[in-house]
Structure formats: C-alpha cells, structure tokens
C-alpha cells in the first residue's frame, strides 16, 4: 500500500499520506511486537495452540491486551487512530482504495477476533467500558464529520470508520448474535465500501475532481452510474434487503443484551448515517445539471458497468439470502464462544 499510494497516488499530498500510513502502522506494530516478546519470555513459545491453553496473570493480561488491542485499533482503524485512513483513501488510486477498504481494514478486526479476545479473556471484560466508549465516540464523531466533508472519497472513508466501529462493538458483545453480525458486516463492508470507491473512482477518471460542489444532476447524463450508486448507498444506510442491514441489526440485538445505553446511541447513529448518505446521493445525482465546470459527460462503459453490477448483485444477494451465510458461521462461532 505504501508503494501503491506513493507512486500511483493522484495528488502531491500523497507523500504526506503514505508517511502517515507508515508511521501509524509502525507504531501499532511495535506495540504488538513488544507484547509478543513478553509472551515469548514468559511461555518460551509463540505457538498459538499452546497460548490458547495458557493462563496469564491478570496484570500481565492487562499489559498484553493493551499492546495487542491498540496495534489492531490502528489497522481497523478506531477513533482516535483513524486520521491516516481518510488521507490514504483520498490520495490512493481507485484500485488502492478498493484494496484498502475490502482487505486491509479487515486485518484489524480479524486480529481482535483471533488473538485479543481468546488470549486475554479477563482483560477483555475489564476493558469493556473503554471499548464501548471508544466505539460509540468514534461512530458519532465520524458520522458528524462525514456530513461536513466536501471530498467524495473522504465521505466514504469516514463512513468506513463508522462501520468498522460497529464491527468492533459486535465483536465485544460476547454473544452469538453480535459476533455473527460483526463477521457478516465485515463481508458486507468489503463489498459496499469497495463498490462506492469504485463508483467515485470512475467519476474522478472522467472529470479529474472529487469536490462535491462540482457535481449535480448526473442522473440525466449517467443513469447507469446513478442506479448502481443508489443500490450501494442504500446498503451503506443499512436499508432492509441489503447486506449491511443484517450485520448491523444482529450487532444491535447482541449489544442490547449487554449495554442498553451503547445500543441506544449506536441505533441513533443510523439516522446520522442516513443523513449524510442521502445528502451525498441527492447532491450528486439530482438537482440541476452542472454545466459550469463540465461540458462533456459519459456514463459507465460496459466494463465499468459489469464491475459495478457485480458489487450491486452481491450486496442484494447477501441481503436477501444472508441466512445461508449466517448458518455457515453459527457452528464455528458457537464453538469459538464455548472455547473462549
């Protein structure tokens, strides 16, 4: 990603973005490396099968949990370690944004599910108030920040931070509904966010700007783009029948069992998500056609429409047939909960 953004980035600020990506990731990785060294000095091995059956002292769990958790927080990213993500998305080429949203962010959530929670159970329950506070603040803050953004990629980037905070909330509910919803939302976010970045990238390739005020009335000249963008925006809102709805609904159900206040705030944030998503779509697609800045318009090509259609099809398929995926997840996740 460092090379992809630094070499093929779209603007001169790309150097600043790649250094932010590098140093944030380096800081988190060093914390985790120190934690691994502490584990090795204590157990004399890093074999995960042995570590799962090792009982760490409570104090050692607290220290190791912090080192691992904050390393993965940077990768997710969670508030307030999210600053590098909007910069990286804005400066990255379209393929870089798709890989970043679809693959790289999931490394953090996978690490938390695979290592942090099962290895340090007592510390996990001790730090639950901190986790809920960080996630709720991150969801509300990023939703409010998204409404204020004028760059199309930054809107989707801040929305990604909000959705990934939802995923972390679900992982720490410690029940089947919440963890199932988190895994499902990871899959959904990889499709929806990547599709949105692809659509914005196609628009940028044509008009060489991502500033929101330069666009309006694209439904008149880009109907295929408007249709695909509409489906992905609905999923971003977590509209029933789309993939994100199932994930967020299960997370909220699991969260209500543990913390009613956090679940209430998280539910309220869905309204803020609808506000910035509908505002974005309305300002780009409707209103009068803006011919002051753009005199030539062209819709999706056949290849672009095929790719966007695949994103939309998977989004709707997961929304309508999500029960099949959930049935595949339930058995291993139930075993995971019993083991933990």
Residue whose structure tokens are 């790649």: 18
CA distance 285 to 127: 44
What pLDDT sits at residue 338? 54
pTM over 0.85: yes
Per DSSP, 297 falls in state -
Q: Which two tokens stand for residue 290?
A: 């803006």
Q: Which two tokens stand for residue 88?
A: 């990286």
What pLDDT sits at residue 122? 84
Residues 6+ apart with CB under 8 A from 288: 216, 217
Residue whose structure tokens are 């509904």: 177
Query: What are the C-alpha distances in Å from 132 to residues 71, 208, 214, 224?
Result: 17, 40, 39, 40
Residues 6+ apart with CB under 8 A from 204: 10, 94, 152, 210
What pLDDT sits at residue 294? 61
pLDDT in tens, 40-90: 888 888 888 888 888 888 888 888 898 898 889 888 888 888 888 888 888
What pLDDT sits at residue 33? 92
Q: Using an 8 Å Cβ cutoff, are 222 and 284 in contact?
A: no
CA distance 105 to 213: 29
Closest by Cα among 38, 266, 139, 109 to 117: 109
What pLDDT sits at residue 153? 85
Residues 6+ apart with CB under 8 A from 279: 147
What pLDDT sits at residue 337? 62
Closest by Cα among 170, 198, 174, 188 to 239: 188
What pLDDT sits at residue 238? 85
pLDDT less than 70: residues of the chain: 10-11, 290-295, 331, 334-340
What pLDDT sits at residue 293? 66
CA distance 60 to 44: 15
CA distance 212 to 292: 14
What pLDDT sits at residue 262? 83
Q: Residue 188: phi, psi to the nearest 5?
A: -65, -45
């Amino acid at each position: 990603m460092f090379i992809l953004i630094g070499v093929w980035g779209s603007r001169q600020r790309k150097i600043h973005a790649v250094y932010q990506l590098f140093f944030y990731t380096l800081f988190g990785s060093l914390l985790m490396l120190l934690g691994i060294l502490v584990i090795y000095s204590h157990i004399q091995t890093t074999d995960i099968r042995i570590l799962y059956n090792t009982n760490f002292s409570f104090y050692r769990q607290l220290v190791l949990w912090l080192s691992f958790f904050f390393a993965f927080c940077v990768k997710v990213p969670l508030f307030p370690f999210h600053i590098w993500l909007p910069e990286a998305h804005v400066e990255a080429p379209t393929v870089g944004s798709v890989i970043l949203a679809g693959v790289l962010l999931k490394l953090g959530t996978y690490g938390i599910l695979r290592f942090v929670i099962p290895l340090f159970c007592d510390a996990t329950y001790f730090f639950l108030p901190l986790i809920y506070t960080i996630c709720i603040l991150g969801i509300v803050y990023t939703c409010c920040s998204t409404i204020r953004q004028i760059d199309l990629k930054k809107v989707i980037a801040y929305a990604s931070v909000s959705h990934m905070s939802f995923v972390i909330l679900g992982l720490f509910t410690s029940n089947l509904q919440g963890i199932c919803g988190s895994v499902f939302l990871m899959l959904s976010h990889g499709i929806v966010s990547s599709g949105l970045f692809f659509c914005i990238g196609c628009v940028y390739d044509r008009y060489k700007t991502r500033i929101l005020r330069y666009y309006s009335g694209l439904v008149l000249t880009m109907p295929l783009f408007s249709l695909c963008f509409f489906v992905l925006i609905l999923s971003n809102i977590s509209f029933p029948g789309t993939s994100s709805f199932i994930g967020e609904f299960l997370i909220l159900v699991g969260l209500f069992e543990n913390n009613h206040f956090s679940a209430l705030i998280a539910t309220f944030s869905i309204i803020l998500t609808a506000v910035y998503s509908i505002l974005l779509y309305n300002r780009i697609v409707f209103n009068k056609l803006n011919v002051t800045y753009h005199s030539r318009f062209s819709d999706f090509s056949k290849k672009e429409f095929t790719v966007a259609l695949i994103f939309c099809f998977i989004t709707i398929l997961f929304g309508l047939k999500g029960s099949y995926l959930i049935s595949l997840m339930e058995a291993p996740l139930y075993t995971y909960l019993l083991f933990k």
